[in-house]
C-alpha cells in the first residue's frame, strides 16, 4: 500500500491552535497550500509575550493572513479588532468561517485580495500593530515596507518573519525592539519612531 505523499518543505496541512486568551485551545485548520507556513506555537508565545503591554485595545493588521493564527491570537488576547488580508479565496473563506464560529465577525474583518493592492488602495484606517509574514520565495518585504507606513499609527508596532539568513531592510522610522529566531525563521518586533520620539 502506497503512503500518501508528505507535504514538501514550504507547504503545510493540518491545524494550529490558539494558545492564549478567550479562545485558547481553538484549532485553526491549515489547508495544504504551497508557501503556507503558519507561525509556530513557540514563536507566537514569544511574540505575544513581547506585545502583552500594548495588545489590549489595539487595532491589528494581519497581512498574508494564511491560517489567521496571528490576527486571531491577537484578538483572543485582548486586541480590539483585526483585519486579515489573504489573497487565496479558499483561505479567506476559511477565515470568515472561523470568525463566525467564534462569534467574532464584528471584531475580525477578512479581506480577500492581494496585500500590496490593498495597502496601496487606502481606506483611512490606521493600525496599531501589523503582522507581516509573506511567502518567503516572493521577496515582498521591500514593497510591503514601502506601502505599510501610510496604514500605521504614529507609534505602531511591526512584526516581521523572514528566512533565518535574511534580515529585511527597513526604513529608518522602524526601530528594532526585540528579535529571535529558529533554525529556519528570523522573527523580529519593531517600533515606529517619529521625530518627536527620538531622544
pLDDT digits (tens, 9 = 90+) for 39-76: 888 899 999 999 999 999 999 999 999 889 999 999 99
**Each residue's pLDDT tens digit, 91-147:** 999 999 999 999 999 999 999 999 999 999 877 789 999 999 998 888 898 999 999
Q: Is the pLDDT of residue 176 over 90?
A: yes
pLDDT score of 35: 60
How many other C-beta atoms can be found within 10 angstroms of the C-beta atom of residue 7? Answer: 15
For residue 101 the three cell numbers come to: 464560529
Q: Is the pLDDT of residue 12 over 60?
A: no
Proportion of the chain above pLDDT 90, given as a percent:
68
How many other C-beta atoms can be found within 10 angstroms of the C-beta atom of residue 186? Answer: 17
- The chain-wide mean pLDDT, for the chain, equals 87
d(CA 148, CA 109): 18
CATH 3.40.50.150 at 48-197, yes or no: yes
For residue 36 the three cell numbers come to: 503556507
DSSP E strands in 35-126: the ranges are: 59-63, 81-86, 108-112
Proportion of the chain above pLDDT 70, given as a percent:
87
pLDDT score of 34: 63
pLDDT score of 190: 97
d(CA 197, CA 115): 29
pLDDT score of 33: 65
Give me the residue spans of the domains in the chain: 48-197
> Residue 32 — pLDDT band, cuts 50, 70, 90?
low
Amino acid at each position: 500500500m502506497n503512503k500518501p505523499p508528505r507535504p514538501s518543505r514550504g507547504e503545510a496541512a493540518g491545524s494550529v491552535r490558539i494558545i492564549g486568551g478567550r479562545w485558547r485551545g481553538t484549532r485553526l485548520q491549515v489547508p495544504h497550500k504551497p508557501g503556507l507556513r503558519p507561525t509556530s506555537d513557540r514563536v507566537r508565545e514569544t511574540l505575544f509575550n513581547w506585545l502583552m503591554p500594548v495588545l489590549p485595545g489595539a487595532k491589528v493588521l494581519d497581512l498574508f493572513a494564511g491560517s489567521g493564527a496571528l490576527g486571531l491570537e491577537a484578538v483572543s488576547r485582548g486586541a480590539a479588532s483585526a483585519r486579515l488580508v489573504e489573497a487565496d479565496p479558499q483561505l479567506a473563506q476559511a477565515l470568515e468561517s472561523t470568525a463566525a464560529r467564534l462569534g467574532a465577525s464584528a471584531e475580525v474583518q477578512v479581506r480577500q485580495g492581494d496585500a500590496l493592492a490593498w495597502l496601496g488602495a487606502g481606506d483611512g484606517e490606521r493600525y496599531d500593530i501589523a503582522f507581516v509574514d509573506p511567502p518567503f520565495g516572493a521577496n515582498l518585504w521591500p514593497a510591503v515596507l514601502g506601502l505599510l507606513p501610510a496604514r500605521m499609527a504614529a507609534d505602531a508596532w511591526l512584526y516581521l518573519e523572514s528566512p533565518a539568513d535574511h534580515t529585511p531592510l527597513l526604513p529608518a522610522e522602524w526601530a528594532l525592539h526585540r528579535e529571535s529566531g529558529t533554525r529556519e525563521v528570523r522573527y523580529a518586533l519593531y517600533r515606529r519612531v517619529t521625530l518627536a520620539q527620538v531622544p
